[in-house]
Structure 1
Amino acid sequence: MPRPRRTQISIEDTPYYHCCSRVVRRAYLCGNDSFSGKNYDHRRRWVESLLMKLEGVFAIDVAAFAVMSNHLHVILRVDVDSANNWTDREVLQQWHQIFKGDDLTHRFVKGEIVTSEEVPILKHVVATYRSRLCDISWFMRCLNEPIARQANQEDNCTGRFWEGRFKSQALLDEAALLTCMAYVDLNPIRAKMSDTPEQSDHTSIQLRIKAAMKGEQPKSLLPFSGNERNNNFKEIPFSVKDYLRLVEETGRIIRHGKHGVISEKSTQLLSKMCIPSDNWLKLTTEFGRLFRGPVGTLEELTCYCEHLEKRRRHFSRCCLLLTTG
């Protein structure tokens, strides 16, 4: 039975969450439909464009994403501090980028006089919007609903386009984040949609590779800090160069008919994250099957369950793969 989202989100334990949405009917989100002969690749641009827009509106950062033929992966970081630091006017300005608002909110944003009777109403509205702008459920709602309406209009049909709810799982530590990011970025290669990460269209790894060639990082994606966890997990706590090397080498191994090994430098990154190199290929190819709930060390998983008042540590056996050989 589906669990309420509040029983899966614990910002106290981690701001990082892996979300996945899957289409419910036979029609493709993107790619070629062998039954009808139609191509839906243009829908991938819809998703990526809207995803980047929402990243600039919400107090939520995008760490990784991949738009596949019938599902979407995205790794999000909730930035509650940024939302709390916005002024009331800034909150409404952010909200008005995606929703119409009402006469009261627009008058306040313009600097017009608000009566004393309207102040409590305005305060309540601002508090509600501030909370929503750092809420994963609202982020995914604002991503999935417009895509569903646009796809239904194109297909000349009605009804559900996505499954009832998106799936989300907490990434409780650096090892879980590194593993899940690699899993998401390597999705097109595992699905044989592309041969290399740089050829994987509409993915975060392609954006990162293009930016790295200029010595930059994409402004629309959460940056790498290049350091260990010394920034309260506010940036991805490892080097972008090390990460791109690890993903490229892993992709070469996964790709059918190709051979390769994980280099010593990539092995050092895994060792720094305490991930056994012998488990790495299994983790990055079977992540979706292995982990159906929160991902992290047993210690982190225990704290997470205690904070959410869970009686059992579900999927704890799979979490051992992150720390044991």
Structure 2
Amino acid sequence: MPKPREQQISIEETPYYHCVSRCVRRAFLCGTDSSTGECYEHRRGWLENKLLELPNIFAIQIAAYAIMSNHYHVVLFVDAAESNLWTDEQVVERWHSLFKGNLLSQRFMRGDEMNKADLARLQIYITEWRSRLTDISWFMRVLNESIAREANQEDECTGRFWEGRFKSQALLDEAALAACMAYVDLNPVRAGMAKTPEESAHTSIKVRAEKAKSAQAPNHLFQQPKELLPFAGNPRQDMPIGITMKLTDYLELVDATGRIIRDDKRGYIPGNSVRILDRLGLDEDRWLNMTQNFEQSFGTFAGNEVKLRSICDRLSYQRPPGLNRCRTAFG
């Protein structure tokens, strides 16, 4: 039996999570149904627009995503510190953009006079909503429910559109994050849907590459796509929030990896990208294996043994799951 989601998530250990949702009943998220000829490609835009809209409400940002025919991948960054800076009014306003709230929260936003008992009760709701707005389960719930309603209405049917439980993998260190992001960004290339990463429609790598082409300084935080978690550069003191790598280094590494995958031969990783792998503690063989089989290679957690044991101790696991696989992958 799968463990409860709260036993798989520890923001104190890692803010990064790889999530996957798949359709049921031969439902099509996007693409064309070969048996009926029906085209569902427009739904790709539904999902991408909603996915990139939700970080304006949640304290969760998008590091990478790829929207496929019957499933999608997303790498999420949970910014718990941001939610702690929100005022009570901001929390209620954000929650009301998703749900109606209740009579107390509606009175609060109208500026009605409220007694101490009402304010105390409202504070309980605000605390709960603040927590939910940093919760990947609520993020995925809001995303999936909205798409399911639109798809069911278009298909003129009822019932489940998504599998009942999305898959999540905690990314425990920089190497796991980089490998997982590359795995997500290269999904269309592996599936034969695109020849190069920058041609992969409805992916984060395409958004980043297009923005980089028009930017004077593509590695600058403020010249990267606003809707995605930025690359903050190589490790240093006083690091801003972002992915610990240069954007241009990541784009070059993913491009080289994608060419090897597309050509279906060993190929080689250029020298500059090899230096990045050295910093991550990975060799070419392990990198290529993870960028092609990341989801299947790991269970709930992906990262080095020290981080794996630490998060499992915090979450009271009797023994670390997938220990041998993490040892093999991350040394």
Alignment TM class, shorter chain as reference: over 0.9
Answer yes or no: is the 8 Å Cα contact 2:233–2:246 preserved in 1. Answer: yes
* Equivalence map 1:24-103=2 (5 Å): 24-103=24-103
- The aligned residue for residue 228 of structure 1 is 235
Q: Which amino acid aligns with 2:59?
A: A
Larger deviation, residues 160-169 vs 114-123:
114-123
- The aligned residue for residue 205 of structure 2 is 205
1:185 aligns with 2:192: no
Q: Secondary structure at the match of 2:52?
A: helix
| Inter-partner Cα distance in structure 2 for 1:109 and 1:243 | 44
| Inter-partner Cα distance in structure 2 for 1:8 and 1:263 | 37
* Equivalence map 1:244-283=2 (5 Å): 244-256=251-263, 260-283=267-290
CA deviation after TM superposition for structure 1 residue 256, in Å: 3.8
Q: TM-score, normalised by structure 1?
A: 0.96
| Inter-partner Cα distance in structure 2 for 1:166 and 1:151 | 18
The alignment yields a C-alpha RMSD, in angstroms, of: 1.5
Percent identity between the aligned chains? 52
- The aligned residue for residue 312 of structure 2 is 305
Larger deviation, residues 283-292 vs 246-255:
283-292
Larger deviation, residues 84-93 vs 96-105:
96-105
Q: Which amino acid aligns with 2:156?
A: N
- The aligned residue for residue 11 of structure 1 is 11
Q: Which amino acid aligns with 2:289?
A: K
CA deviation after TM superposition for structure 1 residue 27, in Å: 2.3
CA deviation after TM superposition for structure 1 residue 292, in Å: 1.7
* Equivalence map 1:77-156=2 (5 Å): 77-156=77-156
- Deviations along 1:124-171, whole A, 9 cap, x unmatched? 111111010001110000000111111111111111111111011110
Q: Which amino acid aligns with 1:142?
A: V
- Deviations along 1:1-29, whole A, 9 cap, x unmatched? 12100110011110111110000111211
Q: Secondary structure at the match of 2:302?
A: coil
Q: Which amino acid aligns with 2:97?
A: Q
CA deviation after TM superposition for structure 1 residue 231, in Å: 5.3
CA deviation after TM superposition for structure 1 residue 93, in Å: 1.1
Answer yes or no: is the 8 Å Cα contact 2:303–2:330 preserved in 1. Answer: no
Q: TM-score, normalised by structure 2?
A: 0.94
Q: Which amino acid aligns with 1:27?
A: A
Q: Which amino acid aligns with 2:290?
A: L
| Inter-partner Cα distance in structure 2 for 1:205 and 1:267 | 20
Instruction: Find runs of 4+ consecutive structure 1 residues off by over 6 angstroms.
Output: none
Larger deviation, residues 97-106 vs 251-260:
251-260
Aligned pair count?
324
- Deviations along 1:235-262, whole A, 9 cap, x unmatched? 1000000000000110011014677421
CA deviation after TM superposition for structure 1 residue 74, in Å: 0.5
- Deviations along 1:176-214, whole A, 9 cap, x unmatched? 000000000000000111111111111111110011112
Q: Which amino acid aligns with 1:291?
A: F
Distance 1:231-1:61 versus aligned 2 partners, 3 A rule:
farther
Q: Secondary structure at the match of 1:201?
A: coil
Q: Secondary structure at the match of 1:238?
A: coil
Answer yes or no: is the 8 Å Cα contact 2:31–2:39 preserved in 1. Answer: yes
| Inter-partner Cα distance in structure 2 for 1:143 and 1:232 | 30
